[in-house]
């Protein structure tokens, strides 16, 4: 078990529906990371942007992007995280992949598909939460719109890190900022939010605001809106254990079960 977890997240523009170009771009960005990190986080639908044309861009779990992620994880010695469009059993998924340096792949299918953009008409909704045990850290990765639903995000298994990858538009960025901080506070965990920048083909504008919050809701990385950059956050186990033992708020959490 590691006392520290070094997480690099890449806030970037995305080329619309051009997986090859996006893979090349992120290869360059990953290469620029000059220090050893444990985890590298890429945005939601990082090879395409938030497209509803799943037929055009979907890949399989044996496809080029999955293989690319495995190669990057092996080469860097870091787990690579990001979501892409996956076709499986005649359905499409907005699927987050957690690819370990060993090549092992864990995945999470976005539960809350974004009805405002008709994502629910194109992509099947996932039903299972993923808790990754990586280097002694429990990580709960979720996707964009999931951030608005605290029950689904609730820390009932004592995870250490809550992580969101997103294409969250500029007009509602205050909600992004507020809810990331709230998720950290209420779950007594580190909360990481990685959002893209730029503009997509549908004229949706994205302004980043990627950040990492600690157990008390303090931002531990600088907020750099509208700027492409890679940030590295160092997470500390002792920070989590100190405040959980001192405040014990999670001991008073409600007991519940999700149906449907």
In a 13 Å sphere around the CA of 131, the CA atoms on its Cβ side amount to: 12
Paired sense of beta strands 132-134 and 39-41, if any: unpaired
Active site residues: 44, 110, 144
* 191 closest CA partner among 147, 254, 148: 147
Q: What is the dihedral of CA 63, 141, 179, 205, to 10 degrees?
A: -10
- Cβ atoms 148, 112 nearer than 8 A: yes
- In angstroms, the CA 25 to CA 72 distance is 13
């Amino acid at each position: 078990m590691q006392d520290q977890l070094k997480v690099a997240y890449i806030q970037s523009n995305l080329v619309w529906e051009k997986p090859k170009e996006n893979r090349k771009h992120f290869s360059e960005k990953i290469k620029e990371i000059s220090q050893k990190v444990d985890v590298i986080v890429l945005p939601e639908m990082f090879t395409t942007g938030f497209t509803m044309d799943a037929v055009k861009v979907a890949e399989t779990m044996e496809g080029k992007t999955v293989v690319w992620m495995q190669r990057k994880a092996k080469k860097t010695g870091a787990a690579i995280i990001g979501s892409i469009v996956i076709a499986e059993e005649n359905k499409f998924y907005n699927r987050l992949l957690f690819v370990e340096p060993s090549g092992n792949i864990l995945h999470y299918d976005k539960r809350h598909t974004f009805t405002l953009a008709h994502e629910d008409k194109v992509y099947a909704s996932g039903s299972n939460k993923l808790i990754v045990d990586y280097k002694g850290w429990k990580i709960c990765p979720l996707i964009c719109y999931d951030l608005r639903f605290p029950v689904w995000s609730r820390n009932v298994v004592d995870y250490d890190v809550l992580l969101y990858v997103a294409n969250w538009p500029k007009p509602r960025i205050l909600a992004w900022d507020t809810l990331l901080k709230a998720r950290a506070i209420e779950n007594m965990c580190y909360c990481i939010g990685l959002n893209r920048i730029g503009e997509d083909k549908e004229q949706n504008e994205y302004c980043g605001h990627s950040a990492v919050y600690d157990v008390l809701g303090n931002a531990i990385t600088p907020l750099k809106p509208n700027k492409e950059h890679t940030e590295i956050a160092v997470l500390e186990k002792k920070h989590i254990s100190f405040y959980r033992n001192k405040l014990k708020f999670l001991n008073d959490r409600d007991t519940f079960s999700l149906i449907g």
